[in-house]
Amino acid sequence: MPEGPRHPTPILLVLALRWLAFGWMLIVALISGQIQRPVEAGIALLATGCWTAWLTMAGIRRMRPVLAMDVAVAIALTVAYGHIHPPHAMLTEHPSFMGAYPAAAVAACGAVYGPRGGCTAGLILGLSLPFAYAANEVALDRLSFLQVLAMIGGGLSYVLLGGTIGAAARQLDALHERANRAGLRAARMAERQRIAAQIHDDVLQELARLRANIREAGPAWANVAEGIARQESALRGLGGAEPDPPPPGVMSLRARLAELAEHHDDVVVRLIAAGPFLLPAGMATEISAAVAELLTNVVKHARAHHVWLTVLPDGGGITVTVRDDGVGFPPDQDTSGLGLRLSVKARVHRMAGGVRIRSSPGHGTEVELRIPKGNDHA
């Protein structure tokens, strides 16, 4: 259970209610003429004022011990009300000395711990009402049916208040969390647009000039120029936003791999994808499963700090590269381990693709998955 609400509004409103209730206590004590024990009333007012001031200065977060103390103060005030007022005053319509102050403690528990915490605090406070009646010299066994209903109704009102405040606070927390996620998405989108603009202004223009110079050098360099053109196209897609949700049976490989990268807390995974790569769902699932196995191998064996996951178009096909900065291994070492052979190579071969592995001790490992064009694996 969380130690405090993510949004400060509920507890601030409870704090405002607390000060209003304390002001009402002062007014009743001064003008009601119903205070039978003024010394005890003064002590109760002083203690309540000090407690309220401390809560205000301590900030908006409320920990379990503080809330438990707050409920204890509310119970003490409830019982003190019966002791301070004349006998049987609780059976009359006279203004209440404690006012809504105990309700503020219930509301605080609801704001922090949700409906369950608010209802629990309300029930505990409601169970203290018979002790307040006893302190007011009211014989509980002589209460009428309506008087018993009034006492039970007072306790239930605390339970309902705690549950209502708790539900409202949880709804506000959910809206706050949703707004935070939307803000993070907007920030990521702005960052991608900034990167796209930088790529366009610097890298793409330099590649275009280089491609023009290579073409002028003669037909022998045509393949190099074509390769540069493909990389230009890939770079133009890096800053692109995810399109609308794909149709049924189709999946964004970039979105699938991004979700996979976010769930790896043991190593930093940086994803670079030149577009969403909308693929049949079965094909995207196979590729992401192969990548998941490679990331697992990195975590288990490579002792790497970073992994670069790159997805680029290759003609009409796709090339997925997983590169790490781990310990690597000698070029002649056997790379046909069971996990790599069954979960990676077998998946890629079923899509008529190929796997290429490059590594050297101390320089990390790079695994390239190439899935050819025209693949209709699903």
Of all residues in the chain, the percent with pLDDT exceeding 70 is 75
Digit-coded pLDDT (tens) for 312-358: 887 778 889 998 988 888 766 665 554 566 678 888 888 989 998 88
Which pTM value belongs to this model? 0.47
Quickly state the pLDDT bin for 252 (edges 50, 70, 90): confident
CA–CA distance, 205 with 226 (Å, rounded to integer): 16
CA–CA distance, 153 with 71 (Å, rounded to integer): 19
Quickly state the pLDDT bin for 87 (edges 50, 70, 90): confident
Domains assigned to the chain: 9-177 (no CATH), 250-371 (3.30.565.10)
Q: What pLDDT, on a 0 to 100 scale, did the predictor assign at position 1?
A: 39
Token pair listed for 249: 């049976």
Quickly state the pLDDT bin for 187 (edges 50, 70, 90): confident
Do 40 and 80 meet the contact criterion of CB atoms below 8 Å apart? Answer: yes
* Count of other CB atoms within 10 angstroms of residue 79: 19
Q: Helices marked H in the chain — which ranges?
A: 9-31, 38-57, 64-84, 101-127, 129-135, 145-198, 205-216, 222-236, 253-262, 281-297, 338-339, 346-350
Of all residues in the chain, the percent with pLDDT exceeding 90 is 4
Quickly state the pLDDT bin for 220 (edges 50, 70, 90): low
Quickly state the pLDDT bin for 195 (edges 50, 70, 90): low
Provide mean pLDDT across the span 271-289: 86
Q: What pLDDT, on a 0 to 100 scale, did the predictor assign at position 287?
A: 92
Q: What pLDDT, on a 0 to 100 scale, did the predictor assign at position 369?
A: 92
Please say if the pLDDT value at position 200 is more than 80. Answer: no
| Phi, psi of 303, deg, nearest 5 | 55, 45
Do 377 and 350 meet the contact criterion of CB atoms below 8 Å apart? Answer: yes
Mean pLDDT of the chain: 78
Please say if the pLDDT value at position 213 is more than 80. Answer: no
Digit-coded pLDDT (tens) for 283-321: 999 999 999 999 888 888 888 888 888 888 877 788 899
Please say if the pLDDT value at position 3 is more than 50. Answer: no
Please say if the pLDDT value at position 102 is more than 80. Answer: yes
Q: What pLDDT, on a 0 to 100 scale, did the predictor assign at position 2?
A: 44
Provide mean pLDDT across the span 221-236: 60
